[in-house]
Amino acid sequence: MITIDEKYKPTGERYETALAKYREFLDRIENRAEQVKKFVQWLENETSWLWSPASTRFHLNIPGGLLIHSVGVTETLLKIRDTLAPPYSDESCIIVALFHDVGKVGEENNPYYIPDPHYKGEGIKYVSNPEVTAMGIAVRSLYIVGQFIPL
């Protein structure tokens, strides 16, 4: 099980709201519920999924930013799905959107983004973990999700 220092745990209303919406989206998955449940258990217990930033310098580079970002992408895709991709089910859209950036968790017990140990300023500055195998985020995302959920 992966652990995190208390000072890097996500907090605040924005994160709590995103976490609640994330759970609601997961509850809407029926056809692939068993696979998604196993995936989510692994993701939440063995990776940095619930506390990773979405990036090192740009959007949502805060603890929990990846989850906040992924929930926002899911909400947006469900709103525009009828225009862009009407034949796809809510379930498929939820799976694709929620986990589109899951490659940013890095590897099991080895987060992709880590706090910069040399940063002396306020807040947290993230850097890419040099210990994680080099691979594009999209490829890593497909690799991770594909091990659990039929795509």
Average pLDDT over residues 30-51: 96
Under 8 Å between Cβ of 28 and 22: no
CB 137: neighbour CB atoms within 10 A?
13
Under 8 Å between Cβ of 1 and 41: no
Largest interatomic CA distance in the chain: 50
Higher per-residue confidence, 10 vs 29: 29
Under 8 Å between Cβ of 91 and 29: yes
**pLDDT per position as a tens digit, 135-149:** 999 999 999 999 999
**pLDDT per position as a tens digit, 90-140:** 999 999 999 999 999 999 889 999 999 888 888 889 999 999 999 999 999
Q: What is the dihedral of CA 64, 66, 67, 73, to 10 degrees?
A: 150
Residue 107 is predicted with a pLDDT of 92
Residue 64 is predicted with a pLDDT of 96
Local confidence band at 67 (pLDDT 50, 70, 90 cut-offs): very high
0.85 exceeded by the pTM? yes
Q: Give residues with Cβ within 8 angstroms of 136, minimum separation 6.
A: 103
The DSSP result for 13-59, as a single string, is HHHHHHHHHHHHHHHT--TTHHHHHHHHHHHHHHSSTTT--S-SSST
Going by the DSSP 8-state scheme, the letter that residue 138 receives in this structure is H
38 pLDDT higher than 90: yes
59 pLDDT higher than 90: no
Residue 9 is predicted with a pLDDT of 86
